[in-house]
């Protein structure tokens, strides 16, 4: 029986990395397809640098969480992940190994299990989907807006930096207005970027609010446990009475000897009875004196 593939992460994460690998390989093809336009080529180079940073973070995450860093690096193509994350065109072809890993995962797990795992972790899957959509809109929105606006009359989006800046500002719904399309096609593309950007940031804001404001499951269970196990408040008088009852019940039945606590209690009762009798006698004397004085008074 073969050892489990410990470098594999969650299904949604592996699919996300696989789609980014496909997009990065597509960028290599697009670089040679738009070689005549330096602006479009510069956008693709910027996106390739972004992909390299993401893949380098993915490699660091995998090797730091793998039970055996050596097994991941040498046996499970970790070296290919490292080389593919470097910003060199010759090494980017090694990103095919990521596609092989995702294809093997999809084949071994099966579509039903994949769908079940994605729907079970809806929050994490939604976050990865938002990141993927943001990257797609950033790349193809910048390419499209620069393509239609670059040589238009009166255009102010004429370079790769202008196109990337306009797309980022539009996706984030900030809208500075310093860069804007002047052609009909450019406005149509800008409208699509605005609609998608509102959806992305609205969903992302809801995810963050749910992440930071909703109570954790562990805290809820701990609070419920503490509430259930907390002892009921006991009145001090009840506690003393129960303690006295326990002492009295602890005394042996039918024995002549009494505990010291019981003897002290009987002495206290005798003292209280004596004081009560004395008080009653004084009250009788006072009442009797008052009656005699009333009889002696002249009519």
Give the Å distances, CA to CA, from 128 to 12, 14, 24: 8, 10, 17
Cα distance between residue 276 and residue 282, in whole Å: 10
Q: Which residue has the higher pLDDT, 106 or 130?
A: 130
Question: Distance between alpha carbon 256 and the CA centroid of its chain, in Å?
Answer: 70
- Residue 68 pLDDT > 80: yes
The residue assigned the tokens 């606006």 is 149
Give the Å distances, CA to CA, from 188 to 104, 141, 149, 181, 194: 40, 11, 12, 9, 10
Q: Output the pLDDT for position 183.
A: 92
Cα distance between residue 97 and residue 64, in whole Å: 19
Which token pair is 283? 């009250």
Q: Output the pLDDT for position 217.
A: 59
Q: Output the pLDDT for position 261.
A: 54
Q: How confident is the model at residue 188 (pLDDT cuts 50, 70, 90)?
A: very high
Task: Give the chain's length.
Answer: 299
- Residue 292 pLDDT > 60: no
Span 228-234, average pLDDT: 48
Q: List, for residues 124-174, the tens digit of each pLDDT value.
A: 777 888 888 889 999 999 999 999 998 888 889 999 999 999 999 988 878
| Maximum C-alpha span of the chain | 140
Q: Output the pLDDT for position 249.
A: 47
What's the whole-number average pLDDT of the chain?
75
- Percent of residues, the chain, with pLDDT higher than 70: 75
Compute how many other C-beta atoms are within 10 angstroms of the C-beta atom of residue 270.
10
- Residue 294 pLDDT > 50: no
- Residue 182 pLDDT > 50: yes
Percent helix, percent strand, percent coil in the chain, to nearest 5: 75, 0, 25
> How would DSSP label each residue in 114-139?
HHHHHHHTHHHHHHHHHHHHHHHHHH
Cα distance between residue 55 and residue 219, in whole Å: 35
Q: Output the pLDDT for position 243.
A: 44
Between 8-12, 21-25, 103-107, 218-222, the lowest mean confidence (pLDDT) is in 218-222
């Amino acid at each position: 029986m073969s050892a489990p593939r410990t470098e594999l992460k969650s299904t949604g994460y592996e699919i996300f990395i696989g789609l980014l690998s496909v997009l990065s390989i597509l960028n290599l093809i697009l670089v040679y397809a738009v070689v005549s336009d330096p602006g479009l080529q510069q956008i693709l180079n910027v996106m390739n640098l972004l992909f390299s940073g993401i893949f380098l973070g993915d490699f660091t995450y995998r090797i730091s969480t793998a039970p055996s860093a050596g097994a991941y690096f040498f046996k499970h193509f970790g070296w290919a992940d490292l080389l593919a994350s470097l910003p060199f065109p010759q090494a980017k072809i090694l990103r095919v190994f990521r596609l092989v890993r995702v294809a093997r995962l999809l084949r071994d797990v099966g579509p039903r299990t994949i769908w079940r795992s994605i729907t079970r972790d809806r929050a994490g899957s939604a976050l990865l989907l938002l990141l993927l959509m943001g990257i797609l809109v950033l790349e193809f929105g910048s390419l499209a807006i620069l393509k239609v606006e670059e040589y238009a009359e009166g255009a102010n989006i004429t370079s790769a930096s202008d196109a990337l800046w306009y797309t980022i500002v539009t996706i984030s719904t900030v809208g500075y207005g310093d860069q804007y399309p002047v052609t009909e096609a450019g406005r149509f593309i800008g409208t699509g970027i605005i609609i998608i950007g509102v959806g992305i940031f609205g969903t992302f804001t809801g995810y963050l609010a749910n992440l930071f404001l909703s109570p954790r499951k562990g805290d809820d269970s701990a609070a419920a446990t503490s509430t259930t196990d907390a002892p009921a408040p006991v009145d001090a008088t009840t506690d003393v009475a129960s303690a006295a009852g326990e002492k009295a019940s602890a005394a042996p039945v039918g024995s002549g000897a009494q505990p010291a606590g019981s003897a002290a209690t009987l002495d206290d009762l005798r003292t209280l009875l004596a004081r009560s009798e004395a008080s009653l006698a004084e009250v009788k004397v006072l009442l009797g004196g008052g009656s005699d004085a009333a009889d002696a008074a002249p009519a």
